[in-house]
Amino acid sequence: MALNALLDVQVAVSNPQELFDFWIRRGMTGGSDGALGTTDRPVQLRVAEGSYRHLAELHLGCEHERDLSEIADRLGAAGLEHRLDGTRLSCIDPVFGHRVVVEATDSRALTPAQNRLVNGPGTASRVDSRAGAVADRTATPRRIGHVVLGTPHTARAVDFYANILGFRISDQILKGVATFMRVETDHHNLMIQPGPTSYLNHYAVEVDDFDSIGLAGTAVVRENPEASVVGVGRHNLGSNVFWYLTDPSGNMFEFFSDMDQIVDDDEWERVHRRLDWEGADGPAGFSVWGPKDPPRRFFDPPDIQEIVAGRAAAGLG
């Protein structure tokens, strides 16, 4: 089980050009094929046309071709159709219905974040100059870091991603109903949580730091004052700073930074991971500081009936 990268995602929406242009304004680079990228990763978010908004493809990386064969064997044992072609394997997610592609490739490292000098009590790292966020107000996306999927079929979805594809479980809450999983060193590249139907809850865009979240989110709200959903705050599980907003297609997305990094799987399993976080206090709560209770649309988006109808029309449960 050697998945090592979340390479990119494809999102289907009714007006792809509108979403494409939105992310170009946010600082992503783009090509004529609808692919949006960043300086380090030229393809991060692909936009396609669809009758309802949904995740269309999840593109993952693994270390070796033999990893693809092992995943293919597990798919076959589970009775799931798949195609293995050299260094590329594809299948259909049995719960959500999107395409999953796994490719044998090197993990794609990021260049270091910009270094904003910070003054603190008794420590003056920045002297005789203004703060970096005052002097330079740019905040460009670095990558798509994770996606969160909601479904009534959480156990089946977790089984597919953890036991068949090979995601590693970082934490669980609600007695295992909601699960954080990873393929990179991030605390989570995927979360499965309860939902009224199987749908894309949000995709998450990493930026450099806290200032970048504020700058990038403010630019979105300046265009659309109704775009802010919840934030700014710091999550308990994952520890990342967050601001959730909506894009022009109605998708919720998250600007985030400073997520927990897990480089020693054995250490995390032995000391930190828990599968039974509960309650609003402690690490199970929504945030350490910031909003404690997300609004209803965080879990139940206003277009959920359109998604239900779209899935029904596509023959998806």
User: Where exactly are the structural domains of the chain?
Assistant: 3-106+137-304
Q: Average per-residue pLDDT in the chain?
A: 93
**pLDDT of 281 higher than 60:** no
Measured CA to CA in angstroms, residue 236 lies from 240, 241, 289 at distances of 8, 9, 9
**pLDDT of 218 higher than 60:** yes
The pLDDT of residue 279 is 53
**CA–CA distance, 44 with 41 (Å, rounded to integer):** 6
Measured CA to CA in angstroms, residue 240 lies from 112, 234, 264 at distances of 17, 6, 19
Pull the structure tokens for residue 85. Answer: 């072609």
| Residue position matching structure tokens 């393929």 | 183
Pull the structure tokens for residue 226. Answer: 């109704």
Q: What is the CA radius of gyration of the chain?
A: 19
**pLDDT of 181 higher than 50:** yes
Rounded to the nearest angstrom, the gap between the alpha carbon of residue 156 and the centroid of all alpha carbons in its chain is 20
Residue 18, Cβ neighbours under 10 Å: how many? Answer: 13
Q: Which of 148, 155, 234 is nearest to 190 (CA)?
A: 148
CB half-sphere exposure, 243, CA atoms < 13 A: 21
- Give percent of the chain above pLDDT 70: 96
Confidence band for 268, pLDDT divided at 50, 70 and 90: confident
The pLDDT of residue 128 is 86
**What's the mean pLDDT in 309-315?**
97
Buried b / exposed e along 21-54 (16+ C-beta atoms within 10 A): ebbeebbbbbeeebbbbbeebebbbbbeebebbb
Q: Averaging pLDDT over each range in 35-39, 91-95, 136-140, 267-271, which range is the top one?
A: 91-95
List the single range of 188-197, 236-245, 279-288 with lowest mean pLDDT: 279-288
Confidence band for 280, pLDDT divided at 50, 70 and 90: very low
**pLDDT of 262 higher than 60:** yes
**CA–CA distance, 33 with 10 (Å, rounded to integer):** 12
**pLDDT of 61 higher than 90:** yes
The pLDDT of residue 289 is 95
Domain 3-106+137-304 matching CATH 3.40.50.1970: the answer reads no
**CA–CA distance, 66 with 46 (Å, rounded to integer):** 28
**What's the mean pLDDT in 148-161?**
97
Q: Which of 204, 218, 206, 205 is nearest to 133 (CA)?
A: 218
**pLDDT of 1 higher than 60:** no
**pLDDT of 147 higher than 80:** yes
**What's the mean pLDDT in 196-212?**
97
List the single range of 9-13, 49-53, 119-123, 231-235 with lowest mean pLDDT: 119-123
Q: Where are the alpha helices (DSSP H) in the chain?
A: 16-25, 65-77, 132-135, 154-158, 210-223, 265-267, 296-299, 304-313
CB half-sphere exposure, 239, CA atoms < 13 A: 10
The pLDDT of residue 269 is 83
The pLDDT of residue 277 is 67
Measured CA to CA in angstroms, residue 120 lies from 115, 116, 127, 305, 308 at distances of 15, 13, 11, 49, 50
List the single range of 38-47, 167-176, 202-211 with lowest mean pLDDT: 167-176
